[in-house]
Structure 1
Amino acid sequence: MSKVKLTDYVVEFLQKKGIHDFFGYQGTMIAHLVDSIEKNPHARSHSSYHEQGAAFAACGYAQAKNACGCAYATSGPGAANLLSGVADAYFDSLPVIFITGQLNTYEYSGITGLRQQGFQEIDMVSMAKPVTKYAVQVRDPKNIVRELNLAWQIANTGRKGPVLIDLPMNVQRGEVEDPVYDMEFSEEEIETAVYGKNDPENGAAFYRDAVAKADSSDGAEAAEYILNKIRTAKRPVFMIGHGASGEAEKMLTDLARAHHIPVITSVLARSALSFDDPLNFGCIGGAYGHRYANMIANAKSDLLLCFGISLCTRQIGTKVHEFAKNAEIIRVDIDPYNLQREIHEGREGEKCFCVSAETVVRKLTEQQAQIGSYEEWLAVCQKIRKELWKVDDETPQRYPNRMIAYLSDQLSDTGAVAVDVGQHMVWSYQSFHNQQGQKTLFSGGHGAMGYALPAAIGAYYATGKPVACICGDGAFQMNIQELQWVKRENIPVKMIVMNNEALGMIRHLQRDYFDCVYADTSDGSGFSSCDFTDVAQAYGIPAKRIQGEDVEKYAGGFLEQNGPELLEIMLEHGTYAYPKTCLGEPIHNQQPYIPKPIFDELMEL
């Protein structure tokens, strides 16, 4: 009977699963885990300077590698600081193992209603449950083998997502007898653990009821239905979301290429195709999507084949029942609750299949001889894209988009580019020239400012390649302390700070809806930004500040250097994100409005 220290087992388990880089911040109640990471020759610990940075690094790692990541923190404030990153992983379906330290079990008083059981004690399991697939405190070393194997399987199967394991300090230093690294659990056990977190008796049953509300959960049936519909369609479109990442995404793009079918993605799935791929027709977006994506999906297609894409209001606009009224919509999603979003009123012309995208796409690939070719329809889409590109290129307010396009060409050798939240996020997903295989990373559902710098750090350890991040001045300050992490480990990250000395997205909102009262968004009105070049140089990182009009003159030469660099680009306060759908308008009729002759011509195609 072999015995091993519990934290040694945890680290060995995770490194056997492919996790060699751990992100976190040291503390008394997590010290045993960190010691075990240090002693394992196949594991490396990377210390952030705020636990939120570690959590976002684990998210960026999971996104860039399309694999599981891990972050840790000590008890109390350290563990609580992870939560924004935990939520980011939950909403964007990222498999991340979060491990938190905790008070010794013998320090718990057993007094019901006692506000705190001891110094830095906090009920992390209760706090994390709403934003994890599974959260558990292991109070007996005998339970760690089952709980760790179960947590791993939960994080990495179904709709992927984060799990949290809370380890009291005396449990961490306990022993594990006969460690097991590949325990398997039944579908029923997984459902009970995941969906019983709030209702142990009925949660799994409610989930199965939700699955039953879909038209079918049979992959073969879904594939057969799609094949029947695509045979009669004249204008099919593949809509790909993050739920179809990995092998499903590759098979879908291969199918699209073989049969000349246009592809539209969500923002999170933006990397499915390179920016210049003939099949790439941009990101759908209720407010800021590509003009041509919105027009093709909303007004021109007769069949939308949706794989792992939520079709939430952020994607299709607030007038949900108005979306793609002349198209049949077929939705494939492993999450039954996503499928309960009713797009067509009464589900007229809408079919929902609760099954993994990969299962369905694999069957479609096997039977693709039944799928025709759509060169004429593809040519129509290409004309729409060309004309609407031209409209946007002639919009003066979109000069930041042109900067992003230029900068992206200077960053073409990076393995991943993490983009923060704000106007620069819109400019980036609209205009960044991503290369084939180059990942663009976003905080999608959670929309967390401060995400990009630590996510880029995590992406570096996932890819082993130089990386970049694009931030606004508001977002970069959120986790600016991680510059020391960059300096300490000499991480080759190119940091682009688009500095308009304002919270531009909210400032735009205040202009349109708050009579130009720029409260807490502009210099002199409760907000200001630092000189990021001075700050970076204080950390010992090469940095340069340039004016927006000088980007093409100076940026390229500066970014050619090796190692970490920060480029600060000064913009006017009044920057805007366009095109933008005005409230209540169809999503294919965005501001600034398309000239009427062009609009009418494209709608007639």
Structure 2
Amino acid sequence: MKLTDYVTEFLQKKGIHDFFGYQGTMIAHLVDSIEHNANTKSHSSYNEQGAAFAACGYAQAKDSCACAYATSGPGAVNLLSGVADAYFDSLPVIFITGQLNTYEYSGIDGLRQQGFQEIDIVSMAKPVTKYAVQIREAQDIVRELNLAWQIANTGRKGPVLIDLPMNIQRGEVSDPVYDMKFSDEETEAAVYNRKDGGNGAAFYREAVDKADSADAAEAAKEILCKLKEAKRPVFMIGHGAAGSGEKILVDIARKHQIPVITSVLARSVLAWDDPLNCGCIGGAYGHRYANMIANAKSDLLVCFGISLCTRQIGTKVHEFARGAQIVRVDIDPYNLQREIHEGREGEKCFCVSAEDVAERLAAAESRISSYGDWLEVCRRIRRELTQVDDETPERYPNRMIAYLSDQLGDTGAVAVDVGQHMVWSYQSFHNKQDQKILFSGGHGAMGYALPAAIGAHYATGKPVACICGDGAFQMNIQELQWVKRENIPVKMVVMNNEALGMIRHLQRDYFDCVYADTSDGSGFSSCDFSDVAKAYGIRAKRIQGEDVENASGEFLEQNGPELLEIMLENGTYAYPKTCLGEPIHNQQPYIPKPIFDELMEI
């Protein structure tokens, strides 16, 4: 059996039918195999970064593994931003790169390049993959592909990379295996030893041992004990609980009236108007009410698969939730080494999967009390602080997002790019139940949303949308041709303030309003995106911000791909925002003192 036929069939049997990439001489055998497999389809991007982000969007939207490919050299390097995105956001993606024929390698140490378009992509990718390997013998692909699949899809999920020299791609594989299993020790050695000169697995085990326990039963027992003592508990859910784990946790919370706060990546765990939904935490820009409830009102935070990094809880880490006990459940032992309370006072850490603990809690949920009165306090905080924000004039883009979300209610997923519009979207998008909102979280990659939305369409089989700023959209604007070529039903919303608004806000506050490289006339400018989209043959419209409610609804109701460009004033801002040194529950513009004092007292 030809090696690339085996790779394609292996992934197809695992549920991957859509492959994202860009053709090239040194990956041509794989693309040919995808073409000849009746159950697979190759979707060509116009830059390999677009293919990588499409695979990330696919993995996010479907909660399952995806695949992206590229040819050698510049093609492989162009994948790397998407590889990093998958790594930081725990997305299982199989990346496959073509490579120089093995017989062209000289064996000369220190030679800068072995041949045309050759690059050591494995070494480049190792820091941002769980596993990266080059195949030198055709038969090795059987073990390595099975191993890579298991590594990508177990533990803290993430990307793997397999580098295939061209002559290896056309090699033969005997006795193909599709379900080879490996022990935890084997996968740990493969992942961590390659990252740390042979000692990585031992260091990983040492990191696990620093947690209070790596046993799901122990974690569930501790949580049940703390819930019995608590008056004001909160479930904090992050992307590490994605899949069946988050569904079990939401079910438990619903039965026992426990408020839920999420990370940005887990924003769509609950519909926006769900009675349990108390917003997403954010050290700088999170929901006011989420920050107040978690930081100043709760007496117990039960954290599932959420990192509690400074982006979530602020830079003064030891000041976070000082009046609350914290129980943390995370499969990544290194995340648990973030010390939240100084000396870990009142903090327990369990290195175990959120799903396993959720199942244990579900089996013992009869021992959990109901917290309806506390939930009503949280809902009051949400109502009153939402009203405070709704009355802030500078937040008019949030009101646009809220309106547009209702027009995009039938989309299966909405991919949001990076910039002020990301803040407006996670604060104000009215997502429906099971409507996914996709973000580039840890990597924060501009240019993510359009290709991610394309990947999400193939994951869900439904119309999708993306929300971008003018700076972000230009990063992968070439993928408009992909949208046109495959007639992808994606609604593209470009919020154009003709500036890099997030940085411009920073420059206003810290650089004396010198807007270097962020504003028109100061080293930055934007195009007419509606004209660009029309040039690609895509229906498009440009409107002024004040016309959103009158002019967007009918436009977005049409079938097929469409681009709506919304012109905003140059000086837009994202609020509420935590001022440096302030507690995260007291953001600018400040809550009127009578309201603040009243809410802090209840």
Match in the other structure for 1:292: 289
Question: Which of 153, 158, 163 matches 1:161?
Answer: 158
Q: Give, in whole Å, the separation in 1 of the partners of 2:137 and 2:372.
A: 63
Query: Post-superposition shift, 1:18?
Result: 0.1
SS in 2 for 1:135: strand
Match in the other structure for 1:561: 558
Amino acid at match of 1:28: T
Q: Give, in whole Å, the separation in 2 of the partners of 1:199 and 1:294.
A: 38
Query: Post-superposition shift, 1:589?
Result: 0.1
| 1:188-267 aligned within 5 A | 188-267=185-264
Q: For each residue in 1:18-73, what CA deviation from the matched residue of structure 2 results, as whole angstroms up to 9, or x when unmatched? A: 00000000000000000000000000000000000000000000000000000000
Is structure 2 residue 299 aligned with structure 1 residue 302?
Answer: yes
Q: Give, in whole Å, the separation in 2 of the partners of 1:198 and 1:357.
A: 25
| 1:124-143 aligned within 5 A | 124-143=121-140
Q: Give, in whole Å, the separation in 2 of the partners of 1:377 and 1:236.
A: 8
Q: For each residue in 1:336-369, what CA deviation from the matched residue of structure 2 results, as whole angstroms up to 9, or x when unmatched? A: 0000000000000000000000011100000000
Match in the other structure for 1:313: 310
Match in the other structure for 2:371: 374
Q: Give, in whole Å, the separation in 2 of the partners of 1:445 and 1:198.
A: 20
Is structure 2 residue 38 aligned with structure 1 residue 41?
Answer: yes
Is structure 2 residue 167 aligned with structure 1 residue 180?
Answer: no
Match in the other structure for 2:340: 343
Is structure 2 residue 398 aligned with structure 1 residue 401?
Answer: yes
Match in the other structure for 2:146: 149
SS in 2 for 1:330: strand
Q: Give, in whole Å, the separation in 1 of the partners of 2:194 and 2:249.
A: 34
Q: Give, in whole Å, the separation in 1 of the partners of 2:582 and 2:195.
A: 39
Q: For each residue in 1:289-319, what CA deviation from the matched residue of structure 2 results, as whole angstroms up to 9, or x when unmatched? A: 0000000000000000000000000000000
Match in the other structure for 1:495: 492
Match in the other structure for 2:325: 328
Is structure 2 residue 41 aligned with structure 1 residue 53?
Answer: no
Query: Post-superposition shift, 1:202?
Result: 1.1
Question: Which of 68, 72, 77 matches 2:74?
Answer: 77
SS in 1 for 2:90: coil
Query: Post-superposition shift, 1:200?
Result: 4.2
Match in the other structure for 2:92: 95
SS in 1 for 2:139: helix
> How many residues matched?
602
Is structure 2 residue 343 aligned with structure 1 residue 357?
Answer: no
Match in the other structure for 1:27: 24
Query: Post-superposition shift, 1:197?
Result: 1.3
Amino acid at match of 1:260: Q
SS in 2 for 1:220: helix
Query: Post-superposition shift, 1:199?
Result: 2.4
Match in the other structure for 1:383: 380
Q: Give, in whole Å, the separation in 2 of the partners of 1:409 and 1:198.
A: 46
Match in the other structure for 1:467: 464
Q: For each residue in 1:498-542, what CA deviation from the matched residue of structure 2 results, as whole angstroms up to 9, or x when unmatched? A: 000000000000000000000000000000000000000000000
Match in the other structure for 1:518: 515
Amino acid at match of 1:21: D
Q: Give, in whole Å, the separation in 2 of the partners of 1:497 and 1:237.
A: 36
Query: Post-superposition shift, 1:201?
Result: 2.4
SS in 2 for 1:61: helix
Q: Give, in whole Å, the separation in 2 of the partners of 1:419 and 1:582.
A: 25
Q: Give, in whole Å, the separation in 2 of the partners of 1:519 and 1:199.
A: 41
Check conservation: 1:298, 1:325, Cα contact below 8 A.
yes
Match in the other structure for 2:538: 541
Is structure 2 residue 446 aligned with structure 1 residue 449?
Answer: yes
Check conservation: 1:192, 1:200, Cα contact below 8 A.
no
Unaligned runs of 5+ in 2: none
SS in 2 for 1:305: strand
Q: Give, in whole Å, the separation in 1 of the partners of 2:582 and 2:433.
A: 34
Q: Give, in whole Å, the separation in 2 of the partners of 1:219 and 1:241.
A: 18
Amino acid at match of 1:282: G
SS in 2 for 1:337: helix
Is structure 2 residue 418 aligned with structure 1 residue 421?
Answer: yes
Q: Give, in whole Å, the separation in 1 of the partners of 2:496 and 2:376.
A: 40
Query: Post-superposition shift, 1:232?
Result: 1.0
Match in the other structure for 1:477: 474
Match in the other structure for 1:581: 578
Amino acid at match of 2:79: L
Amino acid at match of 1:126: S
Q: Give, in whole Å, the separation in 2 of the partners of 1:198 and 1:523.
A: 44
Q: Give, in whole Å, the separation in 1 of the partners of 2:93 and 2:269.
A: 22
TM-score by length of 1: 0.99
Unaligned runs of 5+ in 1: none
SS in 1 for 2:579: coil
Check conservation: 1:75, 1:101, Cα contact below 8 A.
yes
TM-score by length of 2: 1.00
Amino acid at match of 1:110: G
SS in 2 for 1:453: helix
Q: Give, in whole Å, the separation in 2 of the partners of 1:226 and 1:504.
A: 42
SS in 2 for 1:177: coil
Q: Give, in whole Å, the separation in 2 of the partners of 1:129 and 1:550.
A: 49
Match in the other structure for 1:571: 568
Check conservation: 1:217, 1:354, Cα contact below 8 A.
yes
Q: Give, in whole Å, the separation in 1 of the partners of 2:165 and 2:188.
A: 26
Q: For each residue in 1:175-218, what CA deviation from the matched residue of structure 2 results, as whole angstroms up to 9, or x when unmatched? A: 00010000000110000001111224211000000000000001
Q: Give, in whole Å, the separation in 1 of the partners of 2:51 and 2:364.
A: 44
Amino acid at match of 2:568: L
SS in 1 for 2:67: strand
Q: Give, in whole Å, the separation in 2 of the partners of 1:322 and 1:68.
A: 38
Check conservation: 1:214, 1:339, Cα contact below 8 A.
yes
Match in the other structure for 1:8: 5
Q: For each residue in 1:116-169, what CA deviation from the matched residue of structure 2 results, as whole angstroms up to 9, or x when unmatched? A: 000000000000000000000001001000000000000000000000000000
Q: Give, in whole Å, the separation in 2 of the partners of 1:8 and 1:248.
A: 35
Match in the other structure for 1:504: 501
Amino acid at match of 2:494: V
Q: Give, in whole Å, the separation in 2 of the partners of 1:477 and 1:326.
A: 45
